[in-house]
Structure 1
Amino acid sequence: MPLSLTQQSVEELGGRSSVLVRQRRDHAELDRLMNLYRADGRTEEERRRTLKDIVQLTFSHAFAEETVLWPALRRLAPDGEALTARVEEEHQEINDLVAEIERTGPADPRRDVLVERAFALIRQDIRDEEDLLLPRLQEALRHDPKHLRALGTAWEAVRRTAPTHPHPAVPRRPPGNALAGVPLSALDRVRDALPAGARAVLGRTVATLAAAAVSRWRAVDRSRRGR
Structure 2
Amino acid sequence: MTLSIAEQSIQDLGGEASVLARQRRDHAELDRLMNRYESGTRSRAERAQTLKEIVQLTFSHAFAEEVVLWPALRRLAPDGEELTSRVEEEHQEISDLVAEIERTDPDDPRHDRLVGQAFALIRQDIRDEEDLLLPRLQEALDRAGLRRLGSTWETVRRTAPTRPHPGVPRRPPGNAVAGVPLSAVDRVRDLLPSGIRVPNGSKVAGAAAAVLAAWLIAAAARRRH
Q: Shorter-chain TM-score: what band?
A: over 0.9
- The answer for the alignment partner of 1:148 in structure 2 is 146
Q: Could you tell me how far apart the structure 2 residues matched to 1:9 and 1:134 are?
A: 14
Aligned pairs (5 A) from 1:118-129:
118-129=118-129
Letter in 2 for 1:158: V
Aligned length: 222
Counting only pairs closer than 5 Å after superposition, residues 1-227 of structure 1 correspond to structure 2 as 1-141=1-141, 144-195=142-193, 200=198, 203-204=199-200, 206-218=201-213, 220-221=215-216
Q: RMSD in angstroms over aligned alpha carbons?
A: 1.7
The one-letter code of the counterpart of 1:65 is E
Note closer, same or farther for the CA distance 1:75–1:188 as it changes in structure 2 (3 Å cut).
same
Partner amino acid, structure 1, of 2:126: I
Q: Larger deviation: 209-218 or 3-12?
A: 209-218
Give the 3-state SS of the residue equivalent to 2:2 in structure 1: coil
Higher mean Cα deviation, 158-167 or 208-217? 208-217
Are 1:192 and 1:199, in contact at CA under 8 Å, matched by a contact in 2?
no
- For 1:170, what is the secondary structure of its paired residue? coil
Q: Secondary structure at the match of 1:165?
A: coil
List runs of 5+ in structure 1 lacking aligned partners: none
Q: Percent identity?
A: 71
Task: Quote the offset at 1:197 in angstroms.
Answer: 8.2
CA separation of 1:192 and 1:222: change in aligned 2, threshold 3 A? same
TM-score, length-normalised on structure 1?
0.92
Q: In 1, distance between residues paired with 2:58 and 2:109?
A: 24
1:189 and 1:199, CA in 2 relative to 1: closer, same or farther beyond 3 A?
Answer: farther
Name the amino acid aligned to 1:116: G
Contact 2:77 2:140 in 1 (8 A): yes
C-alpha deviation, 1:218, in angstroms = 4.4
Whichever residue aligns with residue 172 of structure 2, its letter is: P
| Greater Cα offset, 17-26 or 182-191 | 182-191
1:41 deviation in Å? Answer: 2.1
In the TM superposition, residue 164 of structure 1 has moved relative to its aligned partner by 0.3
What is the rounded CA distance, in whole Å, between the counterparts of 1:79 and 1:183 in structure 2?
33
2: CA distance, partners of 1:103 / 1:194: 16
C-alpha distance after superposition, 1:147-167 (max 9, x if no partner): 100000000000000000001
Give the C-alpha shift of residue 211 in structure 1. 2.0
**Cα distance in 2 between the residues matched to 1:116 and 1:166:** 17
8 Å CA contact 1:171–1:214 kept in 2: the answer is no
Q: Distance in 2 between matches of 1:215 and 1:116?
A: 35
